[in-house]
Each structure stands twice: as structure tokens, then as C-alpha cells.
Structure 1
Amino acid sequence: MDDYFEKLFQGLKEYVKKRSVYSPIVSKKAKESVFPLIVFSISNRVPVANLGFYEQIELLSFSVEISTIDKEIDGELIDSMVIANELRKLVNEYLGIMCRLKKTYDSPTPNVDTNVYRIVMRFTKNINTTKNIIY
């Protein structure tokens, strides 16, 4: 599981870094006052089937939190919603299309700090932990 998560994390970090013009930070945990920020983490592991030594399958849930603020680029102020939507598209391209994770949630989320625009996304994947098979 840890190797799979690390590969996803490194791949997402590289994919977003190459394609985004907004220089986002991709991290495993939240950092103070660093924007735009994408936090990628494992949010849940649920056993789906347990057949002893033969099969042990888990539903692995990943959480992606995108936090942005307005950013000035070349003298032009870019709205935080525009930045967040570009990052959402890139995350979906990598995790949803390239890695074939199933997206189960994707929505703007209210934030205490009204200057920060936030989107939360969740993805899932079934994994056979006995045979190291990703479904």
C-alpha cells in the first residue's frame, strides 16, 4: 500500500508541476500559508473481502484537497477559482484518467478563511493486498 501511495504521490507531483502555470505545491500534509497547494493523502482503508491467505481485498480511498488564493502573474490578478479549477482538471487527468482511480467526490468546500478557495476530491481503488493486484 505504501509503495502504491508513494508512486501515485510522486506521479501526481510531477504531472502537476510540468503542466500548471501556477507553480502549485503538492504535499502529503498541509503547509501554512503556501498557495496554491494540493494535499494528497490516504483517507480510508476498508476491507472488502477476506478469504485468508488466498484473497484479502481492500477499498483504498484517497483524498485530494486543493487550496488556492488570488495570484498575480505578469501584473494580472488571477482569481483563486480559476487556479483551483485548472488544478482540479490536472488532478482528474492524472488520478482519474491515467491511473484509473474512481472519483467518488468532487466539490468546492467552504473554508473558514474567505480568501482561500478550496476543492475537495476523493478517489477510490480496490487492491488485493495478498497478491499485490490493483483492480
Structure 2
Amino acid sequence: MSILISVSATASEESAAIAERLKPVGEVCMSGDECAAAPVAAAPAGPRSGKEVYETKCFTCHAAGVAGAPKMGDAGAWAPRIGQGMDTLYTHALNGFNAMPAKGMCMDCSDDEIKQAVDHMVDNSK
């Protein structure tokens, strides 16, 4: 009988180990659902500055020059773009241009926030 208990305990431990390995790594929570996971960060309370937008969104491409994006601070790369006028730069940033998608994929950015980010990059790239 003691062998049966030992075998049963081992099988139970093995089942628990299998269940642990197979459990989901996370859960999906929709807005309004009560979930055990940590809450999602709230949307910004007010408009973000151009510097904030650049440092959290635009830098991904404009710090490294990804896909031809002019690097912030590179006056030579920015000069011809600045020469086209700010309205053109705003239009390209808002609607996309070449490899850059609309709003640089910052779908939670307002048009004004995007324009401020453009201003920030231009001001720091002359």
C-alpha cells in the first residue's frame, strides 16, 4: 500500500509540473474588464511636448537614421528638408512620406503633438 501512495504522490507532482509548464504566460484584458494583470498606463493627461514625443516615439528611427530617416542633429540631412518649408515637413510627418508611416506610427499622438515633435527635431538640427 505504501508503494501505491508513493506512486500516486509522484503522479500528482508530475501532473502539477505539467500544468505549470502549460499555463498561459499572460492574459488579455479589454478596457473595462477586471483583470488580475497590472493595469495599463493611463493616456497622457494633457498634450505632450515635442521633446516628449520625440524621446518616446520619433527617436526610434530619427536617432539611428532607420530607412533613410534624417538623424536629429544632422544639419546636412535636414537642410534640404527644412528648405521645403515647415508646412511640407508637417504634411510628411502627419501623412507619411517614403518609408515613414503616417504620424510615425504614433497613433495616440495628436496632430499638434506631431507638429511639435517636428519643430523639436528641426530646432535641434540646424
TM-score, normalised by the number of residues in structure 2? 0.25
Greater per-residue helix proportion: 2
TM-score, normalised by the number of residues in structure 1? 0.24
* Greater RCO structure (CA 8 Å; 6+ sep): 2
